[in-house]
Chains A and B, each alone.
Chain A
Amino acid sequence: MTTATATTMSPAQTQTPMLPRGPMLKRSPFHERLAALNLANAWEAWQGYTTASLFYDAEDEYFAIRTGASLYDVSPMLKYRIAGPEAEAVVDRLVSKRIDKLKPGRVTYAPWCDARGRVIEEGTIFRLSPTEFRINCAEHQLAWFSETAHGFDAQVEEVTEEIAGLALQGPTSKQVLADIGLAEAAALPFFGIGTFKGAGGYPVTVSRTGFTGDLGYELWVAPEHALPLWDALMARSDLHYLRPIGSRALDVARIEAGHILINVEFVGARHAIRPSQTRTPSGLGLDWAVDLAKPHFNGRRALIAEREAGGPKRRLVGLDVTGRKPATGAYLYHRGREVGQVTSATWSPITKRNIALATVEARYATEGTVLDAEIYYMKEVTQGKVDAAATIVPPRFYQPGHRRG
């Protein structure tokens, strides 16, 4: 039918400027399978790719993450390879953690800053070999990584399109992996990484990482092996309660895990029009990922100066909010004075709590402080408002023991 239409179209019709021609968004190597399963026909754009918002029911998908296993297509995530004799020195210069201590076959998570100590982004760093690293992130970093690598004997390359990725997350994910001939991968330690050959015979790089805070893995293959991998996994879906999930379910899980998101919790220092929107690692609660004792890395001096000046003016905190209404975008007050704002909020089905991530003035960022949250919500067609008590808590709302088990 498509062919018939195309052949009957006159040249004038095909040249009309009234009808834009696509495709506007790229498709991931898994798209064919995802499209067949997306009964809700709910899609969104992610870094220029078509990605699923949900497949059938976001709540069902969420519980796949927490009680079964879930598959989320992470192919659109940006991936950079940094390789060469001085690759270690480049990455060490780039991020705030010690990279000389990161052994091949291990993963770490770290932010990278500009010279003023403002976070450009954060992401996972794979050490694939002594001389090869891969950094995964959400925003384009080629210019910054290349700038950092300048003068070093190392190459920086974007490899997003060369690698298809699937996040396999949830308590039963270990059995799923074992079932498709990747038992060795399933036994990886937390933040371990390796390349394995499963039942399909093609190489699958597996990292024990994820964005859900649950037990889970990320699987990386060449695009031509994407569909075979998908089919092998989904063939086990009934045995292990495995379902594909969209971004909505994932977002609830990532808030529960306390994972920050760029352009939600903060704006990257290289993109901010208003400098006041940028944050230091400390302001984002990432002190644990900063090693100021390290001899040098981008932004170190500024971060030392910040620490000496008493720390950041604002801090990211977790909130435990009373009531049932998610505190999305809520202003936070202390005795009537505005002292912060919520950046992410959700009802947490697994902890049965109303949780949020927020940025507040540093002096109110201590655990146990109670702020007043002004929550707006849709009351059928009018906007309703409730005032709720918001208690500052550590932002890791859900950290099941089996995550590292």
Chain B
Amino acid sequence: MKRYDAIVIGAGHNGLAAAAYLARGGLEVLVLERRDAIGGAAISEERHPGFTYSSCSYVCSLLRAEIMRDLDLPKHGLKIIPYGTTACLMRGGDRFAMYPDADQTRREIARHSARDADAFDEFMRDLYRQCRAIRPLLLKTPPDPTSFKPRDIKGLLEIGRAFGQLDEDALYQAMQFWTMSCGDFLDRYFESDVVKGALAGGSIIGTALGPYSPGSAYVLLHHVMGDLDGHVGAWGFAVGGMGAISKALAGAAREHGAEIRTGAEVSEILMQGDRAAGVVLADGEEVRARTVVSNLDVKRTFLKLAPRKHLPGAFVDQVERFKIRGSSGKLNIALDALPDVPALRHDPKLMRGGLNVGDSLEYLERAYDDWKNGTWSKKPYLDIFIPSTLDSSMAPPGKHYMSVFVQYAPPTLADGPWTAESRQAFGDTVLDTIESYMPGFRKLVLDAWVRTPADIEAEVGLTEGNIFQGELTLDQLLFNRPVPGYAQYRSPIRGFYMCGSSTHPGGGAMGAPGANAAREMLHDLKRRAA
């Protein structure tokens, strides 16, 4: 019977990145995917004839340039087009737009507050200062502060040095960024409600926190620390949808010799003594390997897959308490034509970028209140994109694909689980909200695929439908992600690793957890061989 060097459970983008790096490192690698298609949450699907949906994840910035280069992803078909603008649609018909051109953005902010136009420069400067300290940590294994191993001490010194390069103000701010609420942070700079509301969107996406919940300021940073073609904070569309990223990663993995099997659900981990020795598939087939790595989130991995008796009780406790709260839903919509947005008629190019609904911190906080009460936001925050305005492969000519990310929606409702009726009502809330900013919108809808957090969990496998495989708050970041003492991609079971977004540096189609986990596995295997 064939014995692989490594089995990767789950063909999400991190599983595929790990597989590609492992195969590139000379290992025999097998990727097992439960579904019939690879990609996990980075997937493109044709659910309505002629339309390609980025079913879950929908825009890209965080995918590390180092990974694109190491794995030569452009050769495997990956193209990412930057989109330059974001427009926050306001109740009352106005808008607040941000442009790549600083003067245009300034003029736009000044329409709402002349003072905020100056404050914006300072805000961005402070954000970039923090990014400079954090970005080098992304592709590194988080050092364990309790360890005296030379590599941990070296890692801690590197973190110290990165933050040591900040000046005093930025150092004080670093602490605030990691702990404060986004709302409190923005209040320091800005007076205009819409400027704050528009900037706060990035701090609540995918997070079961409101803009005034402590810790939400970091999420803002998480959404700015990516880059595209060297432009920090820039975002773009993957041509062909986010599945193109998974496809390119799979292409790279295969090129280096990895096998990828779909429709192959892993039901348990095969043990040999205290070591993982392979997996058992749902149909009973056993596949053996020297190491196993899970791309699933930490709860699914250790509460559903790994043998409980091989795990320390304290570890299981921590996994159970790890916060992976579902907070968002998604609509994928096929449109007969480009909708008319009166607020953007003066500059239709804004339709090519992000369109947000949620024009004040108050609006966002109220939307969060609904989530706490166990229902979806009656006035939701929406992060809307029409990728077909930049990518002709997403919809037939003249027609358009709209991706709508919806914050907030709970994993279960106050009165019980999601039903077909409640899903319909949730979808209607979102469509009606859009209609109020885009008159005539609902008439253009050819198909609207509504996905609640429960749907996302059922289809993709993300616990509670949490897009980050665990919230991005300081207690769950760096050497605490996912569990203190287990932040270096290893688990309590020897030979069993994790490479999903539950690990450092977290979610967002970054590929860094996969690449980092592969590096640790190769390190261990080399040591065992020696």
Contacts and interface: CB of A to CB of B under 8 A. Distances in A.
A25 B102 CA distance: 11
A21 B348 contact: yes
Interface in A81-98: none
Nearest to A14: B348
B337 to A, nearest CB: 8
Contacts of B346: 21
Contacts of A144: 118
B122 A17 contact: no
Interface in B242-274: none
Nearest to A139: B121
Nearest to A48: B103
Nearest to A17: B351
Given A17-B348, A19-B349, A25-B103, A272 B118 contact: no
B103 A15 contact: no
A20 interface: yes
Contacts of B192: none
Contacts of A140: 106, 117-118, 121
Contacts of B170: 275
Would you call the interface of chain A mostly helix, strand, loop, or mixed? loop
A119 B121 CA distance: 16
Nearest to B104: A24
B504 to A, nearest CB: 25
A255 B419 CA distance: 72
A158 interface: yes
Interface stretch (B54-62, B125-133, B147-155, B506-514): B125-133
B283 interface: no
A45 to B, nearest CB: 7
Contacts of A158: 114
Interface extent on A, as a size class? 20 to 34
A315 to B, nearest CB: 21
Contact of A21 (B107, B125, B349): B349
A351 interface: no
B345 A15 contact: yes
Interface in B286-336: none
B347 interface: yes
A143 B119 CA distance: 7
Given A15-B338, A270-B122, A146 B115 contact: yes
Interface string B94-107: 00000001011011
A271 B103 CA distance: 15
Contacts of A8: none
Given A45-B103, A272-B125, A273-B132, A21 B119 contact: no
Nearest to A15: B348
A350 interface: no
A20 B103 contact: no
A270 B121 contact: yes
A188 B167 CA distance: 46
Nearest to B346: A21
Contacts of B122: 143, 270-271
A187 interface: no
B106 A273 contact: no
Contacts of B389: 17-18
B34 interface: no
Contact of B347 (A20, A141, A146, A272): A20
Contacts of A40: none
Given A17-B338, A146-B115, A273 B125 contact: yes
Interface in A219-273: 270-273
Interface string A7-46: 0000000111111110011100000000000000000010
B352 interface: yes
Nearest to A115: B169
Given A20-B347, A271-B122, A273-B128, 8 more contacts: A14-B348, A15-B340, A17-B351, A24-B104, A140-B121, A142-B117, A158-B114, A272-B125
Interface of A: 14-21, 24-26, 45, 47-48, 140-144, 146, 158, 270-273, 275
21 contacts: A15-B345, A16-B348, A17-B389, A19-B349, A20-B348, A20-B349, A21-B349, A24-B101, A45-B103, A47-B103, A48-B104, A140-B117, A140-B118, A141-B118, A142-B114, A143-B118, A270-B121, A270-B125, A271-B121, A271-B122, A273-B129
Interface of B: 101, 103-104, 106-107, 114-115, 117-119, 121-122, 125, 128-129, 132, 167, 170, 338, 340, 345-352, 389
